[in-house]
Structure 1
Amino acid sequence: MIVTLTPNPSVDRSVMIDDLRRGEVHRASESRIDPGGKGVNVSRVLAAQSAATVAVLPIGGPEGHLLEELLDAAGVAHHSVSVAGTVRMNISVLEPDGTTTKLNEPGPTLTDDEAGLLLDATVTLAAGADWVVGCGSLPPGAPADLYATLVGQVRDRGVHVAVDSSGAPMVAAVAARPTLIKPNHEELAELVDHDLPTLGDVRDAARDLVADGIEVVAVSLGKDGALLVTAQDAVHAAATITAPLSTVGAGDCMLAGLLHGLSTGQPTADALATGVLWGAAAVTLPGSSVPAPDDLLGIPLEITTSPDFTYRLT
């Protein structure tokens, strides 16, 4: 089982328009709402692929009630912690070529007690888990070391822990040495405090983090696929998508596939391939939809342990 912690979940509204023009009125051709937040998305795709998962998240206000209804409708098991504030509503504006413009609200302000209840619930559920993953931004009021605290408490119980965040929460989490981190290209550059123009630069930065105690660094690279680095391997995988619809949640689906592969005993290269396949499938779907098994069919995938490390990333 994979337990996800999403301190700042959302209701995600996706709106499709022909062309985004600042300051003008637009008529949407279609729209949809989905449960959102990075950890929630990880649990959603795992549930869609019939894998065991539980999502831990705060719930408050009318949007919180709607979020629970959406999770129930999607068949996602969840443990809700009641909070005084209101869950955020995020808006994604989608254009036909796949361009996505996101408007994210800050989320509810958490008290120390509410943040503590989220951690306690996650650590309790970790007792029956293969992996625990902390994902996404932190809402106002949450301590910057929330993920670092999670790492320490879960690791002490002998459970693998992964983190996918950015900024100060990610820096603190990395210092606590989780089993796995999944930054994107920009987030990895932020972690190491210098630009990473080539695939080789990404590999070297990831190797430095592995040398500091992270077992697995998986870097999502958008159209350039993903690179997974351990003490033994540097594996690159990429999928070709000719008609992308939305990039919302694709990185979360990639992380879910990777963790599912690792939790079911796949070698790291195969687990990365699973992750890239799930992430690529998400790009073919509207809004923040997550792929079901049939959506994975027919997607061309390339994987190698000897990529061109001089390749300049787009």
Structure 2
Amino acid sequence: MIITVTPNPSLDRTYHVDEFRLGELHRANYVAVEASGKGVNVSRVLAALGVPTVAVLPVGGRAGHDLATLLGETRLPCRAVHVGGAARVNVTVIEPGGRTTKVNEPGEPLTEAELDELVRQARTAAVETGAAWVACCGSLPPGAGPELVARLVDAAHAAGARAAVDTSGAALPAALAAGADLVKPNREELAELAGRPLPDLADVVGAAREVAAGGTAVLASAGSEGAVLVDGGATRCLWARAPRIRPVNTTGAGDTLLAGYLAAFLGRGAADAAVCLAEAVALGTSACLVPGTAELPERLIPAAEVTVRRIDAAPLPEEPHEARRSLANGAEPGPARLDIGGVG
């Protein structure tokens, strides 16, 4: 069982257009309305994989009513915390080739009592189901401090579960300080955490190692360059990339990556980290092939087609330009740069 917590869920409207032009009228050729928010997306993918899951989220207002109705129609198990504020509505516009424009509402604040109830419901769900993981995902409601994420990490541990966090801003270091077992930043979030740009894949690897050295495993998504997994303590680092694709919709791919990793971890554990990462990257890439958000196509990219490489834990050189190019191309650089070995 995996519990997800979405502190700031949304009703997502997605439009596909032939070309997006500022200041002009557009006619959509595809429209979708979905219950969303990162944790909801993770639970949706887990349910599609046959993994038991419960989504915990605040629900309020007309948009919240529509959101709850959609969850009910898909039979996704959830625990709704009824709140006074309305759920937010997000809009996504997608062009051929996958270029995406998003407009996300901030959401409405939750009262202290509503935040307390959200944490309580997350812990109760984890205890009652014997959950293996509690995943706190997405942005926080306006006015909610980063301590909310720390409280959710504590609630997971108190229930005997591991805690995974996929968030941004001040909430991410709060998750690390609280002892989260896994964080899943994207490249931009990892760069903010590291306090420097990460233009190349080797920069992503270096930053992920720095974060993981504190004891929290890092699953960092790097878009078309794949994903990096570093275990807590930074003793092992893996990089994986799927075959090149022509994306249809990349929204929710990171949520699918996380869901895939957690699902694989349930069955295999940390000892099979390379297989877990391969399955996660295969799923995350597969999700880019369909119009919906965090949906899976009928035919998935096989995990066997994902390239996985082990990266030596030695410190990266200060100017590994050749290594960066080699790593990005999936080749083995010279021993003076990065030591990347195959994983069998």
Mark yes or no: TM-score above 0.5. yes
Shorter-chain TM band? over 0.9
State the alpha-carbon separation in 2 of the partners of residues 289 and 161 from structure 1: 21
Could you say what secondary structure the match of 1:54 adopts? strand
Query: What percent identity do the matched residue pairs reach?
Result: 45
1:92 alignment partner in structure 2: 92
2:236 matches 1:233: yes
Selected match of 1:301 from 293, 297, 306: 306
CA distance 1:309–1:265, shift in 2 (3 Å): farther
> Equivalences for 1:52-67 in 2 at 5 Å?
52-67=52-67
Does the 8 Å CA contact 1:199/1:309 hold for their aligned counterparts?
A: no
Selected match of 1:248 from 247, 251, 261: 251
State the alpha-carbon separation in 1 of the partners of residues 250 and 301 from structure 2: 19
- Deviations 1:39-69 (CA, angstroms, capped at 9, x unpaired): 0000000111111000000001111111111
1:218 alignment partner in structure 2: 219
- Deviations 1:8-39 (CA, angstroms, capped at 9, x unpaired): 11111100111111111111111111111000
CA distance 1:289–1:210, shift in 2 (3 Å): closer
Could you say what secondary structure the match of 2:118 adopts? helix
Does the 8 Å CA contact 1:47/1:75 hold for their aligned counterparts?
A: no
Q: Give the C-alpha shift of residue 256 in structure 1.
A: 0.3
Greater mean alpha carbon deviation, residues 102-111 or residues 137-146: 137-146
Does the 8 Å CA contact 2:187/2:222 hold for their aligned counterparts?
A: yes
Amino acid at match of 1:18: D
2:112 matches 1:112: yes
2:137 alignment partner in structure 1: 135
Could you say what secondary structure the match of 2:324 adopts? coil
> Equivalences for 1:275-286 in 2 at 5 Å?
275-286=280-291
State the alpha-carbon separation in 1 of the partners of residues 147 and 238 from structure 2: 30
Which segments of 5 or more consecutive residues in structure 2 lack a partner in the other structure? 313-321, 330-344
1:262 alignment partner in structure 2: 265
Could you say what secondary structure the match of 2:285 adopts? helix
Amino acid at match of 2:285: A
Q: Give the C-alpha shift of residue 158 in structure 1.
A: 2.8
Q: Give the C-alpha shift of residue 99 in structure 1.
A: 0.4
TM-score, with normalisation over the residues of structure 1? 0.94
Could you say what secondary structure the match of 2:170 adopts? helix
Instruction: Name the larger-Rg structure.
Output: 2
- Deviations 1:233-275 (CA, angstroms, capped at 9, x unpaired): 2111111242210011000000000011111124111111111
Length, aligned pairs only: 312
State the alpha-carbon separation in 1 of the partners of residues 190 and 302 from structure 2: 31
State the alpha-carbon separation in 1 of the partners of residues 147 and 96 from structure 2: 39
CA distance 1:136–1:121, shift in 2 (3 Å): same
Q: Give the C-alpha shift of residue 200 in structure 1.
A: 2.5
Q: Give the C-alpha shift of residue 297 in structure 1.
A: 4.5
State the alpha-carbon separation in 2 of the partners of residues 8 and 109 from structure 1: 9
**Taking CA–CA contacts closer than 8 Å with sequence separation of 6 or more, which of the two structures ends up with the larger relative contact order?**
1
State the alpha-carbon separation in 1 of the partners of residues 328 and 24 from structure 2: 34
Q: Give the C-alpha shift of residue 301 in structure 1.
A: 1.8
TM-score, with normalisation over the residues of structure 2? 0.86
